[in-house]
Chain A
């Protein structure tokens, strides 16, 4: 029998330490919706999503209620749209948005293109439509994979993405560039990621799958408060134990959702995903380790330990682990990161170093409105290079804050939070980005 102390611990985690299931994401194959007529394709997409996802939100809510654990988001991820659109992709985007609203989900991801080696005509059309689509839809998220360890880096795509991010920011300037918060540029994108903005249903995925992302930085922080001054061996062990407990609940919810929806269980994403709420911050786990602010010397080491211990604890708790799995460091979504960036403790360069040891990349970072497209492409290239060489997923989700400069503030609201505009190195890189072409895959890509 479970002891009272154990029950109270679980209740405390949920009620006081912000432990929740961040998302149940339904991955859905749309390959069979392809049609040469864009309108007909869009109609098929809409019909299929509404048929398959009808029960997602009601089932999510019933699990929340019965198990007493908040499930913050219910989401849908679909086959990258560039794979199903044979013409204009915009009607499909509208159909996705309409379906997502009809199903009552929080976000739908998959307005995506995989072009790490090169672009198809459909990829090009999709890319071109991104600024318009993200400004005119509400719930659709977009992602583009521009590099992989196996294929190298598509510098043409990286150049284009700099422009597209700028255009998206301009088109959504009245909401502080919110469109860019729904757009992520990947290296080594994963096919079963439940997290936005980068979720899509990869081509190796089944017809449909339930993928679950957990979250509990606050729980880890509180566990760490009990071991102040102890050596790192104890720190790692404490994080592992906590991650295990968190992930077990993720696994339970995933199994239960899978059974009730009669959709196969895909993966649990072993994640520490912060929110802007106090007590739900990854940065504050780092400060609890003994750093005055995130960004202080030692931050990368602290994050490396945290990320690794989360995986080690979580992997034992779930029978299928996948997605992005690790600690996230989105600036605008983490009160500790916001504070560190605002006071200058945390810079873009330090964040880049941190992305070498955690999941996923430069995330939710506001940059000055006059940052050039080439500079954004350069940031993407640097991040993609880290991913390519280190065989890991990296991503860039930056928001050029139109009309704002370093030190100003942008506001997105909700889980997306707010962020100080961070300064970008102002030296030019235009000639570098203008070259285009491909950066060859690294030597260790050839493993056969």
Chain B
């Protein structure tokens, strides 16, 4: 399983989770875990997802998220989970 962290941050609005999750669903990317909070009107969400179902390269998936970035005006970063596993799990 190729796990990735997708972090989404920016000004809070209605439907952010729905929009991101819909796009992931279209890409056949399974969401494994979500945590989300609002800090001073600032929306931050972290999703852990499984990229394997997408059958696309990391770059292609990142590109496929671009329209969502632009539409929501949010910062959306994706990075492989391996770095967190390496650092925090033996």
**B-binding residues in A (CB < 8 A):** 1-2, 4, 6-7, 9-11, 62, 65-69, 245, 248-249, 251-252, 256
Interface assignment of B52: CB less than 8 Å from any CB of chain A: no
**Docked-complex contact A7 and B86, CB < 8 angstroms:** no
**Docked-complex contact B46 and A4, CB < 8 angstroms:** yes
A248 to B81, CA, bound (A): 13
**A-binding residues in B (CB < 8 A):** 5, 7, 32-33, 35, 46, 48, 58-59, 62, 77, 79-89
- Interface centre among A9, A68, A69, by most chain B C-beta atoms within 10 angstroms, is A68
Partner of B84, one of A6, A65, A256: A6
**Docked-complex contact A6 and B80, CB < 8 angstroms:** no
A66 to B5, CA, bound (A): 10
**Docked-complex contact B33 and A252, CB < 8 angstroms:** no
**Docked-complex contact A6 and B88, CB < 8 angstroms:** yes
Whose C-beta in chain A lies nearest to the C-beta of B58? A66
**Docked-complex contact B80 and A66, CB < 8 angstroms:** yes
Contacts of A6 on B, CB cut-off 8 Å? 84, 87-88
- Interface centre among A65, A67, A245, by most chain B C-beta atoms within 10 angstroms, is A67
**Docked-complex contact B85 and A2, CB < 8 angstroms:** yes
- Expressed in whole angstroms, the minimum distance between the Cβ of A259 and any Cβ of chain B is 12
Whose C-beta in chain B lies nearest to the C-beta of A13? B87
| A249-B86 in contact given A4-B46, A67-B80 (Cβ < 8 Å) | yes
**Docked-complex contact A248 and B46, CB < 8 angstroms:** no
Majority-rule SS of A interface residues: helix
- Expressed in whole angstroms, the minimum distance between the Cβ of A57 and any Cβ of chain B is 16
Query: Top 10 A-B pairs ranked by shortest CB distance?
Result: A68-B79, A252-B86, A248-B86, A6-B88, A245-B87, A2-B84, A67-B83, A66-B58, A66-B80, A67-B80
Partner of A2, one of B7, B79, B80, B88: B88
- Expressed in whole angstroms, the minimum distance between the Cβ of A250 and any Cβ of chain B is 9
- Interface centre among B7, B46, B87, by most chain A C-beta atoms within 10 angstroms, is B87
**Docked-complex contact A68 and B77, CB < 8 angstroms:** yes
A249 to B86, CA, bound (A): 6
- Expressed in whole angstroms, the minimum distance between the Cβ of A67 and any Cβ of chain B is 5
**Docked-complex contact A252 and B82, CB < 8 angstroms:** yes
Partner of A4, one of B32, B35, B59: B35
A62 to B79, CA, bound (A): 11
**Docked-complex contact B88 and A67, CB < 8 angstroms:** no
- Expressed in whole angstroms, the minimum distance between the Cβ of B66 and any Cβ of chain A is 14
**Docked-complex contact A7 and B5, CB < 8 angstroms:** yes
- Expressed in whole angstroms, the minimum distance between the Cβ of B59 and any Cβ of chain A is 8
**Docked-complex contact A67 and B77, CB < 8 angstroms:** no
Contacts of B79 on A, CB cut-off 8 Å? 66-68
**Docked-complex contact A7 and B58, CB < 8 angstroms:** no
A443 to B68, CA, bound (A): 70
A66 to B77, CA, bound (A): 10
A69 to B83, CA, bound (A): 8
| A7-B80 in contact given A1-B33, A1-B48, A66-B58 (Cβ < 8 Å) | no
Contacts of A256 on B, CB cut-off 8 Å? 82
Contacts of A11 on B, CB cut-off 8 Å? 7
A256 to B7, CA, bound (A): 23
Contacts of B35 on A, CB cut-off 8 Å? 4
